[in-house]
Structure 1
Amino acid sequence: MILLFGGTTEGRAAARVLDESGTPFFYSTKSSLQEIVCNHGVRLAGAMTAADIVTFCEEKAIRLIVDAAHPFAEGLHAAVAEAADRLALPVVRYERRYPPREEGIVWCEDYDAAVRKMLSDGVERLLMLTGVNTIPKLADFWRERTTFCRILKRDESLALADRSSFPREHIVFYEPHADEALMQSLRPDAVITKESGESGFFGDKIAAARRLGIRVYAVVRPVLPESFIPVSGPVGLRRAVERLLPAFFHLRSGFTTGTTATAAVVAAMRALLQKEMSETVPVELPSGEVVTLPVASVRAEGDAFLATVLKDAGDDPDVTNGMEICALVRLTTEHREVRFLKGEGVGVVTLPGLGLEVGEPAINAVPRRMMETEVRRLYPRGGVDITIIIPAGREAAAQTFNPRLGIWDGISIIGTSGVVKPFSSEAFIGAIRKQVGIATALGARHIVLNSGAKSEHYVKGAYPDLIPQAFVQYGNFIGESLSCVASFPPVDLVTIGIMLGKAVKLAEGNLDTHSKKVVMNRDFLHELARRSHCSAAIHPIIEDLNLARELWTHPTAEDAELLLRAVARHAWAACRPLVPSSRFELLLIDEAGAIRFRVGDESSR
């Protein structure tokens, strides 16, 4: 079990990550005011001491603590550290993002130091943006000088201010996005805030004060206990939980080929510029979160450096999992850009519609941006040549959609989020979208969707004149594939070829036919047989079915005709609304490859 301390934006984000596991956990906040939906989290409210945490963890068999509380909740951090030390439990700290500390701000190590500095600087009129809990900490200032304190409009906040005898007439209530208007109305000499990070809108407060020429004092965030394991986002949290408590998530996450290649580029750039042979490197994901990847090797190659990172796809069935992804990086005076060159095992683009120029190495837009960002972070100006090399890429490409996409001689460097979620449909559906894009770019007016190579082979016989790119495999993702087709300019005709096993599931309205999500429903078949006026003899056959394809041979020819035509019509009806702007037909194919039933807009009536 996991005990999560939240009450913050980070707490909500951490709860969402843990909820994805489907495993129960506990979510603790100081008060019950924060609204949060936890499908698997049990809410706790009330402050907890170190002794309380120890007792709770022992009673509930807690094996991991996640601290996502406010960075200035020093008492809680200390209590968590003490309890974790006594119980020998790991603590993952879900940290918020902080902008670099800028010049022109008066940085103070704590509130006492801030009071001393503001008094010595002659501040006469102050606006406190540090929250109601800091009123006692700044009492030596506001009792001497005019001070306004912005607080949340809550009864408990007003009660806290009253207990400190803070003057009610100097209390102002928080309103979203109103920092500058508040400062304009109060005209303070200075504002004091705390280093609360991006989610605490620290930058907005600083920007508003600077526009009005108001001096800013900022209390730096407290140092966290050294025993805490820091992560900076949802990916880092999940990876940490997977490592520290493997049973919590049923499947392990991983990184895309694009993220892996970017890590190799960073390692090579560090070696090239800093002569640093890194064992791990940071990579910024498209979301802005920074993750760390291990580096397998770095070595000099003439005037360049070659770095290798092993692809870790987690538990996703990815043909590139475990492969060496290499980056050869060289500085050049021939140009001033970041240029991508084709390396061994990386495919070359031969067809339009992928968003890349024909002849370019198959490195998609998001991975290119990731690599360019990291290169410019280390080397702001000047030419850089990047060659991505995947030694086993040419052989692996035969197991991917690349040949169908017009990508030859290797795999492609892909990934939109930078992260692989186990058994995620994202990569498969992304490939479908690319295939449809290529087909339409080549002028195809008829798209044929098939479940796989077997059904595609059969359907190609019915449409021998179509270009190869017009045939798109949907796997189990029938609904997603049709939606992909509908997202492009309408084609004249969309055809779906389907075998009986998937057709029976589809006929019941299941647009994702994966066996992990849906199985053949005998009750549905019984009902469909009754409505189709099949004989009574078919019901024992349905009851004894092992596989749906037995319906081709076990019933009488008449019963099979009635039932399977109904299956085809229902399957067509389940799909029809998804492609409203094109004609649509469904082909039900038997085990010998014959198209036994063809249902279209006219024949469905």
Structure 2
Amino acid sequence: MILVFGGTTEGRKAVEVLEEGGSPYFYSTKTGEQDITLHHGQRIDGALDEEAMRAFCLAQHIRLMVDAAHPFASQLHQTIAQVSEVLNIPTIRYERIYPERDPHLEWIEDYSQIPQDIHTLLATTGVQSISKLKYLETNGIKVFYRILPRESSIALAKKLGAQEDQLCFFAGSHPLNGGLASRQGAEADAILLKESGLSGGFLEKVEAAKAKGMRILVLKRPAINFEHSVNGPYGLRRAVEKLLPEFYPLHSGLTTGTCATAAAIAATIRLIKNETPAEVPVILPNGETIQVPVSYGEDYASCFKEAGDDPDVTNGIEVRANVIYEHKDTETQRIIIKGGEGVGTITLPGFDYPPGSPAINKAPREMIETNLKTVLSPLTTNLSPLKITISVPQGAEIARRTFNPRLGIEGGISIIGVSGIVKPFSEEAFIESIRKCMTVAKASGSERVVINSGGKSERFVRALYPTLPQQAFVEYGNYIGETLKIAHELNIKNVTLGVMLGKAVKLAQGHLDTHSKKATMDKVFINEMLQEAGISMDISNITLARELWEKMPQEKIQDFVNVVIRHCETFCKPLLPEGSLTILLIDDEGKIYK
């Protein structure tokens, strides 16, 4: 059993990660005021001292703890560490992502270091800090406290000595709303912030304070030391899989893009620092960092692909990176990425890069560049450009068992991966996860549920429905038909289906499961839809449906969209007989057609 300490954004993310396992767990908060939905978790509320926490862990057979509490909850972190040591229960710290400390801000270790030469201070450090700031008032500094607009927070603030006219409240979206600007036109000379990380809106608050010309004081976050620390959902899942393997029926893995990035990092560190670490930190596209094992050969570093329990022909392959200085004067790039043995070559148009380019997708290239810039930044900017050559010794052989030959990628595999992590799901488990998400969406009371294939399409469609709660957006992956059937079973009346063209042309032909193993792009059918829209064009050379956006006449795009959506409706609307279905077609730039 797992015990999570939350009440934060990280706590909410931890719940999302653990819910994927379908196993029971406990979620603990101090006040019980966080609005959160648990399906497999059981909520416990109220502060736990060391004795109570120890007793609970023993009674409930807790085998793993996750500390996702606020970084400034020092007493709780200390208690968790003590119980963890006494009962020998491993603990994962779910940390926030923190930007580099801006030297132009005034950093302090504790409240006693606040400068005394300010006149008015806006404190955004929470209701618990009021007692620690009262001494400033006796020194002639006017202090305003911005707190949450909860009855419990207001009552505690007054109990700690704050006056009514000193209280400001969080409201709306502006980082400094509810501040002094709303109180008789007064402005604070300075603002006191906690180093609360990206999820705490730290950068937004700093920028807003700078715009107001305020002096910015920042209370440094306390050190939190646990053996296992993560700063994102993928890292948390991988840590749970390692420490409590049975919690997840299926385990996650790494993409070839992450493996290539890890190998490139390791090879660069060896070239520049002459060090060979056994694992390296890899920053994923979502900003979190995971540790990835690496190894070394004579002139390369490598990473072995682990696919977890996802059925993948690339599982176990070795991805290598050779890194050398590039001394050509014509090169203006600081990081040059090349494809070597076993990495396929693009031979047809329609991909992120032109024919002749190595089949290393955009996301892995960006991962490599982002991570190597991080490695290089503390060293020197005067280094010669680096040439990174990615190779896969078994790539040519394995590629024959993939769709690469059909897509016009020859000579090897593709280096791919948008998230950097492979999350495995059997078809049954994936559909069950959709059902859970749809159930949560229904329970949220939202007037509409918006289903999308993934994060990219969801990001585009969200702009159309800014007032819908997060729970109203559900990913269907490839299972459009099953998702619509679930919507009908749950009596969801209004559904919006966001779909990109690659899946839409399959759906329009009646393929309610758009996975490439179940359905492929049918050029004959696409040509029939083009003719139906009054468009005459040669599509014999296209390899991906998204190429249609650029090839067809701009003035005829809406006509084609109308035909595609009409065909999609033919197969989708019967699955939602008592509801209203809106289908949105999305292009690669995020433009939405309906």
Aligned pairs for 1:12-411 within 5 A: 12-114=12-114, 118-119=115-116, 122-144=117-139, 145-180=141-176, 182-184=179-181, 185-224=185-224, 226-299=225-298, 301=299, 306-334=300-328, 335-337=331-333, 338-379=335-376, 382-411=384-413
CA deviations 1:555-595 (Å, max 9, x no partner) are: xxxxxxxxxxxxxxxxxxxxxx987449999xxxxxxxxxx
Deviation at 1:240, TM superposition (A): 0.5
Is the alpha carbon distance of 1:191 and 1:229 closer, same or farther for their aligned partners in structure 2, counting shifts above 3 Å?
Answer: same
Is the alpha carbon distance of 1:27 and 1:288 closer, same or farther for their aligned partners in structure 2, counting shifts above 3 Å?
Answer: same
Aligned pairs for 1:513-524 within 5 A: none
**Count of aligned pairs between the two proteins:** 450
Deviation at 1:229, TM superposition (A): 1.7
CA contact (8 A) 2:26 2:42 kept: yes
CA contact (8 A) 1:483 1:579 kept: no
CA contact (8 A) 1:347 1:408 kept: yes
- Determine the C-alpha separation between the residues in 2 that align with 1:397 and 1:153: 58
Deviates more, 1:212-221 or 1:83-92: 212-221
CA deviations 1:403-458 (Å, max 9, x no partner) are: 111111111111111111124789xx99xxxxxxxxxxxxxxxxxxxxxxxxxxxx
Is the alpha carbon distance of 1:584 and 1:188 closer, same or farther for their aligned partners in structure 2, counting shifts above 3 Å?
Answer: closer
Q: State the secondary structure of the residue aligned to 2:325.
A: strand
- Determine the C-alpha separation between the residues in 1 that align with 2:272 and 2:138: 55
- Determine the C-alpha separation between the residues in 2 that align with 1:326 and 1:364: 16
CA contact (8 A) 1:336 1:384 kept: no
CA deviations 1:355-401 (Å, max 9, x no partner) are: 32111111111111111222333345753322111111111111111
2:513 to 478, 496, 507: 478
- Determine the C-alpha separation between the residues in 1 that align with 2:85 and 2:188: 45
- Determine the C-alpha separation between the residues in 1 that align with 2:314 and 2:45: 46
Larger radius of gyration: 1
Q: CA RMSD in A?
A: 3.1
Normalising to structure 2: TM-score of the pair?
0.71
Is the alpha carbon distance of 1:136 and 1:93 closer, same or farther for their aligned partners in structure 2, counting shifts above 3 Å?
Answer: same
- Determine the C-alpha separation between the residues in 1 that align with 2:254 and 2:346: 23
Deviates more, 1:208-217 or 1:416-425: 416-425
CA contact (8 A) 1:2 1:63 kept: yes
Q: State the secondary structure of the residue aligned to 2:238.
A: helix
- Determine the C-alpha separation between the residues in 1 that align with 2:135 and 2:522: 66
Aligned pairs for 1:411-422 within 5 A: 411-422=413-424
CA contact (8 A) 2:4 2:26 kept: yes
CA contact (8 A) 2:506 2:520 kept: no
CA contact (8 A) 1:490 1:582 kept: no
- Determine the C-alpha separation between the residues in 1 that align with 2:514 and 2:304: 34
Aligned pairs for 1:510-589 within 5 A: 580-581=566-567
- Determine the C-alpha separation between the residues in 1 that align with 2:352 and 2:340: 20
Structure 1 portions without partners, runs of 5+ = 431-469, 495-576, 586-605
Deviation at 1:109, TM superposition (A): 1.1
CA contact (8 A) 1:6 1:27 kept: yes
* Cross-structure match for 1:460: none
CA deviations 1:509-531 (Å, max 9, x no partner) are: xxxxxxxxxxxxxxxxxxxxxxx
Q: Could you tell me which amino acid in structure 1 is paired with residue 360 of structure 2?
A: I
CA deviations 1:237-275 (Å, max 9, x no partner) are: 001100000110111101100110011111111112222
CA deviations 1:197-244 (Å, max 9, x no partner) are: 1111111222222222221111111111x3452101001100110000
Is the alpha carbon distance of 1:487 and 1:266 closer, same or farther for their aligned partners in structure 2, counting shifts above 3 Å?
Answer: farther
Q: State the secondary structure of the residue aligned to 2:247.
A: coil
Q: Could you tell me which amino acid in structure 2 is paired with residue 370 of structure 1?
A: M
CA contact (8 A) 1:491 1:582 kept: no
* Cross-structure match for 1:491: 527
CA contact (8 A) 1:483 1:578 kept: no
Deviates more, 1:271-280 or 1:317-326: 271-280
Is the alpha carbon distance of 1:205 and 1:484 closer, same or farther for their aligned partners in structure 2, counting shifts above 3 Å?
Answer: farther
- Determine the C-alpha separation between the residues in 2 that align with 1:583 and 1:41: 38
CA contact (8 A) 1:311 1:324 kept: yes
CA contact (8 A) 2:359 2:415 kept: yes
Normalising to structure 1: TM-score of the pair?
0.69
Q: State the secondary structure of the residue aligned to 1:478.
A: coil
CA contact (8 A) 1:3 1:26 kept: yes
CA contact (8 A) 1:393 1:410 kept: yes
Deviation at 1:340, TM superposition (A): 3.0
- Determine the C-alpha separation between the residues in 2 that align with 1:492 and 1:92: 56
- Determine the C-alpha separation between the residues in 2 that align with 1:471 and 1:133: 56
Q: State the secondary structure of the residue aligned to 1:358.
A: coil
